[in-house]
């Protein structure tokens, strides 16, 4: 499938700031899905936020919901018509802060959804406030002297809750990210792809990383590809491990429902 068939080109140019990681996320999504997706069966679901807005650029049915509730809406869509492929996309604020409880319970249920969480460590759309995923001591509009909190690692949370697939990559690792999204799309149950990304406007500006290239380099230095024995490692030296945190084939919610109902 050509890129013009995958995205609504009439909505171009998109609304993202120069250097925003969402362009790489969209590119990787297209490359991961181009030859396996059936756009007539796909529903994109987003809450509110810059990355959640990606739902409206894909040439499929889409629903732009309220902040934090995308997984709830997506669950309803999947239960209403289990034949549909449902992808939720949104930011760390949308999916992990206000939407955190939906995330936990959808993973516990092993609900048949693919969730792509674009974790740019900040509330981008509203001007750069910290989110639960913001790194310790980072500067933001709400923590001008440094963030006293430690970052929530959503990928580990959902892996522990029972998700069939949980993977974290960064936009600095596009080849692996493409593979991760592709693998996730083809599995059943709850699948979670966390993408570490960049917000030059909300995060970079406050952290003296003014150029997107500087931020990109910083992000690369803040991550490492984990080996199996590091699977449960907590932020070694403040660095974020990348790779698969869960990959299993536990019976999904829809499979269980079909079995129970006969
Ligand atoms: C119920 C509710 N609370 C707060 C907001 C304001 N708001 C809009 S987007 C957003 C956070 C955006 O951050 P994130 O989800 O991380 O996405 P990003 O813009 O960084 O991609 C917030 C707090 C809202 N729209 N609705």
- If you ran DSSP here, which 8-state letter would residue 176 be given? H
Instruction: Answer whether residue 87 is part of any domain.
Output: yes
Q: Residue 239's pLDDT is what? A: 85
Instruction: Answer whether residue 208 is part of any domain.
Output: yes
Q: Residue 228's pLDDT is what? A: 62
Evaluate: CB of 235 within 6 angstroms of ligand 1: no
The closest-lying atom of ligand 1 relative to the alpha carbon of residue 131 is 16
Residue 4 and residue 125: Cα distance in Å, rounded? 26
Q: Residue 14's pLDDT is what? A: 93
Instruction: Answer whether residue 7 is part of any domain.
Output: no
Which residue minimizes the CA distance to atom 11 of ligand 1? 123
Residue 174 and residue 24: Cα distance in Å, rounded? 8
Which residue minimizes the CA distance to atom 24 of ligand 1? 67
pLDDT band for 227, please (50, 70, 90 cuts). confident
Q: What is the pLDDT of residues 241-261, one digit of tens each?
A: 999 999 999 999 999 999 999
Q: Residue 262's pLDDT is what? A: 82
Q: What is the pLDDT of residues 144-196, one digit of tens each?
A: 999 999 999 999 999 999 999 999 999 999 999 999 999 999 999 999 999 99
Evaluate: CB of 216 within 6 angstroms of ligand 1: no
Q: Which residues contact 58 (CB under 8 A, 6 or more apart)?
A: 6, 7, 8, 29, 39, 42, 44
Instruction: Answer whether residue 3 is part of any domain.
Output: no
Evaluate: CB of 125 within 6 angstroms of ligand 1: yes
Instruction: Answer whether residue 6 is part of any domain.
Output: no
Instruction: Answer whether residue 12 is part of any domain.
Output: no
Give the angle 232-233-235 at the CA atoms, nearest 5°.
Answer: 135
Q: Residue 210's pLDDT is what? A: 84
Q: Which residue in 61, 133, 137, 126 sits closest to 99, CA to CA?
A: 133
Percent of the chain beyond pLDDT 90?
Answer: 91
Q: What's the 198 CA to ligand 1 centre distance in angstroms?
A: 16
The CATH number that applies at residue 181 is 3.40.50.970
The parent domain of residue 26 ranges over 20-261
Asked if pLDDT for residue 83 goes beyond 80, the answer is: yes
The closest-lying atom of ligand 1 relative to the alpha carbon of residue 51 is 21
Instruction: Answer whether residue 156 is part of any domain.
Output: yes
Asked if pLDDT for residue 230 goes beyond 60, the answer is: no
Asked if pLDDT for residue 15 goes beyond 80, the answer is: yes
Q: What's the 199 CA to ligand 1 centre distance in angstroms?
A: 14
Which residue minimizes the CA distance to atom 25 of ligand 1? 67
**Over the chain, what is the mean pLDDT?**
95
Asked if pLDDT for residue 235 goes beyond 80, the answer is: no
Instruction: Answer whether residue 14 is part of any domain.
Output: no
The domain tally of the chain equals 1
Which residue minimizes the CA distance to atom 26 of ligand 1? 67
């Amino acid at each position: 499938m050509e890129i013009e068939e995958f995205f609504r080109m009439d909505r171009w140019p998109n609304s993202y700031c120069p250097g925003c990681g969402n362009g790489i996320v969209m590119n990787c999504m297209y490359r991961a899905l181009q030859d396996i997706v059936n756009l007539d069966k796909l529903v994109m679901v987003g809450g509110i936020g810059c990355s959640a807005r990606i739902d409206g650029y894909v040439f499929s049915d889409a629903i732009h919901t309220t902040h934090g509730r995308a997984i709830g809406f997506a669950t309803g869509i999947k239960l209403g018509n289990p034949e549909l492929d449902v992808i939720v996309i949104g930011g760390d604020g949308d999916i992990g802060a206000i939407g955190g409880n939906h995330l936990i319970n959808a993973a516990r249920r092993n609900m048949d959804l693919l969730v792509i969480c674009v974790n740019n460590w900040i509330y981008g759309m509203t001007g750069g406030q910290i989110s639960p995923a913001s790194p310790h001591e980072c500067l933001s509009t709400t923590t001008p002297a440094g963030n006293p909190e430690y970052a929530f690692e959503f990928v580990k949370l959902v892996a522990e809750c029972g998700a069939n697939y949980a993977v974290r990559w960064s936009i600095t690792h596009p080849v692996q990210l493409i593979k991760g999204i592709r693998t996730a799309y083809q599995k059943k149950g709850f699948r979670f792809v966390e993408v570490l990304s960049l917000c030059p406007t909300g995060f970079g500006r406050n952290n003296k990383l003014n150029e997107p290239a500087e931020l990109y380099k910083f992000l690369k230095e803040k991550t490492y590809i984990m080996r199996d024995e590091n699977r449960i490692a907590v932020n070694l030296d403040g660095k974020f491990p990348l790779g698969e945190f869960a990959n299993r084939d536990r019976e999904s919610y829809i499979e269980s429902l079909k079995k129970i109902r006969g």
